[in-house]
Structure 1
Amino acid sequence: METRRTHRKLYDDLAVKLKLWEDHYGDMPGITDHDYRKTFIEQIISSLRRIEYITQIQNRSIDPERSNPHSPLFDPLRSAILMAKKVDTDEAIWTVFIATHFGRHIADGWKLAANVYGSFGEGPTWSSDTYRADKKGFEAMLQKNLAKLQDKHISGRYSNHRQYQSKNPISIATTFRTFSEWQFSEETFAQKIRGIHKKRGQNPEEVFDELYHGIKSVFGFGRLGAFDFLTMIGKMQVAPISPGSVYLTGATGPLRGAKLLFNGDPVGKCNVRDLEKKVDLMDNFLMVGKQVIEDSLCNWQKSPSKYVYFGG
């Protein structure tokens, strides 16, 4: 648990680095106000803590029931960590996909993911192997449970990040099919990574970029789904990748946050690529990582003058 003194030190360190940025490149209109600046720094710290949480659970023992969608302990992220430790990389990737697509709802938890992954308790668990062997069976399971999917009290809900995704069986089936096709475009994910190494080299940011643009073929994932999925497998060390940019093109919340920070206006017109370069360069001063910057900008713009924790 981080102490209040450690939190204060981190806050002061980030404040100094932001001031150093401004000394080099000029004031940022969005944080000239003290409360806006304070809240932005607090959101950065909050984002750092969320990433540290993944590191913490990687170092703990994990109950095998975390992989069981019929168990109240089900947690696809912990399950993915467990599989990664067993060097079952392809299943770890697949399970992070399950976690990313459905997300963890602030009230329902992993309920929706568990229901679809576990056939609503009345059929197989759709591991990557099971799914690939019987895609028609998966689609039939979704159609059979159409009424349950439509009732949020039974099925559960998508997380806040995924709230606009459809629970229509055809939409879910299409997402699963296109993700499976992307993941297994080579025989294994490791072979996919080796192919990228041959094409672009082994720099983790270059590999991330190649995967990011390739995963756009997944139905319904969008920019946010792609970024969340890839950053998760990176920080879980399932694949040697890390984002070299915040990828603002196609973003909503992070783009609004970046506009507010650098232009003082979250909705005004701007050159997105130029703004993206400024945000990426800012991280050269803050040194917190592009995922933290992206996440903190998104959350800060929702309540820029007063810290609010956003999760689920």
Structure 2
Amino acid sequence: MIRNNYRRDAERIGAALDAFEAEYGALPGILDPSFREGLIDQIIDSEQRVAYFARLRGRTLDANSADPGSTSFDPLRASIIHAERGNYDEAVWLVFLFVHFGRHRLAGWRYVRDVYGRLGDGRLWDWPSVSADPIGFRYWLDDHQQELLAAPGPRGFSNHRKYESLNAWEKTGTGEAFESYVRWILSGGGDHAAFFAQFDVLDPADRFDALYRSMSAVARFGRIARFDYLTTLLKLELVQLDVPHSYLVGATGPLRGAQLLLRGKVGEGLARDLQRELQVLSQSIGIRGDVMEDAVCNWQKSPDAYQRFSG
């Protein structure tokens, strides 16, 4: 059942779906009214997650949110605070940290706080420090890895990053991810602004796609991490971007959602074909590519009975 507080949103999305189906034919995955309502609810939730970023940017944020020594630390809020202070490099660096570590369901931002704040030694592994000495960071991480792992209380990467490690020297560890990110950014002229300026000749959608492909240079940043990093920069208005499509190639949940919606059955349809078709649907009903990707991914988990997912 559509929630009353989002009734207008539901009517807008429902009318857009009706118009799309009138022109292109029925969508097999939402012939059942309960499946249709479930998809509409998930689109609403995905839109609200985007709106959350706009609401954050419109607030006066607690300065402690940018202090890793405080339990109030939050890398997203810290990024906004640094952007407002004109510290663009640090704002974007915090987005990288936000994506690399993610938010653990019990420990919250513990890994980001502990690493960014150097375990409370009074200094930071901020952008100037890491970019000037990525090898020094790796030595620090190696020296403190057991401390990071053994300190009391829950800790860990987010669910999307659960296969990552704090290893300093292996190709699959945090040390390699950090150093490769630094190399990627510095390859463009010395800071984040210079790096992103290289892509200014492209329109926002092509810029997103070019950056997405360029991020193959960053270790441990596959489809989900690249998509999250770039869409977070977009939602925080740190880079002018537009999501061209849902990047279903290499996806799991979003691909299953697209298969169910567009073919009526999970396992049916090639990713590139479905990606193109989902792009047409998204544009036709006025839903951004990242919103649609998030919505179909969550919808396919319980298509006929709405469940709220936190991310």
TM-score interval w.r.t. the shorter chain?
Answer: over 0.9
Partner residue in 2 for 1:242: 242
Partner SS, residue 145 of structure 1: helix
What is the DSSP-based 3-state SS (H/G/I as helix, E as strand, rest coil) of the residue aligned with 1:245? coil
Q: Is the 8 A contact 1:112 1:155 kept in 2?
A: no
Q: What is the CA–CA distance in structure 1 between the aligned matches of 2:160 and 2:89, rounded to whole Å?
A: 24
**Structure 1 counterpart of 2:127:** 128
Aligned counterpart, 1:262 = 262
CA distance in 1, matches of 2:151, 2:38: 34
2:256–2:300 CA contact under 8 A, matched in 1: yes
Cα shift at 1:308: 1.6
CA distance in 1, matches of 2:151, 2:251: 27
DSSP-derived class of the 2:199 partner: helix
Partner of 1:180 in structure 2?
A: 182
The code of the aligned residue for 1:232 comes to T
The structure-2 alpha-carbon separation of the partners of 1:206 and 1:164, relative to structure 1 and needing over 3 Å to count, comes to same
Q: Which residue of 2 aligns with 1:138?
A: 137
Contact 1:149 1:155 in 2 (8 A): no
Q: Show the counterpart of 1:95.
A: 94
Cα separation, partners in 2 of 1:271 and 1:71, compared to 1, 3 Å: same
1:227-238 map, 5 Å: 227-238=227-238
Kindly indicate whether the alpha-carbon contact (under 8 Å) linking 2:42 and 2:295 is maintained by their aligned counterparts in 1.
yes
How big is each residue's C-alpha offset from its partner over 1:159-208, in whole Å with a ceiling of 9 and x where there is no partner? 2222222233330000011111112222222222322224xx3x211111
* One-letter code aligned to 2:215: I
CA-to-aligned-CA distance 1:243-277 (integer Å, 9 cap, x gap):
11111111111111101111122223x22211111
What's the TM-score once normalised by structure 2's chain length?
Answer: 0.92
| Unaligned ranges ≥5, structure 1 | none
Unaligned runs of 5+ in 2: none
Decide whether aligned partners of structure 1 residues 189 and 147 sit closer, same or farther in structure 2, where only a CA change above 3 A counts: closer
* Structure 2 residue matching 1:96: 3-state secondary structure: helix
Corresponding letter in the other structure for 1:236: L
Structure 1 position 6, deviation (Å): 4.9
SS of match in other structure, 2:282: helix
Count of residue correspondences: 305
Summarize deviations over 1:131-179 as a string: whole Å, max 9, x none: 1223233212222232244459646121222222223333000001111
**Farther-moved stretch of structure 1 (52-61 vs 101-110):** 101-110
CA 148–40 in structure 1, closer or farther in 2 if over 3 Å, else same: farther
Identical pairs, percent: 36
Match of 2:251 in 1: 251
> Which range is displaced more, 133-142 or 176-185?
133-142
Match of 1:221 in 2: 221
In 1, are the aligned partners of 2:90 and 2:126 still within 8 Å (CA)? yes
Between 1:244-253 and 1:52-61, the stretch displaced more is 244-253
Equivalent of residue 191 in structure 1, options 172, 190, 194: 194
SS in 1 for 2:97: helix
RMSD: 1.8
Assess if the C-alpha contact under 8 Å between 2:135 and 2:179 holds in 1. no
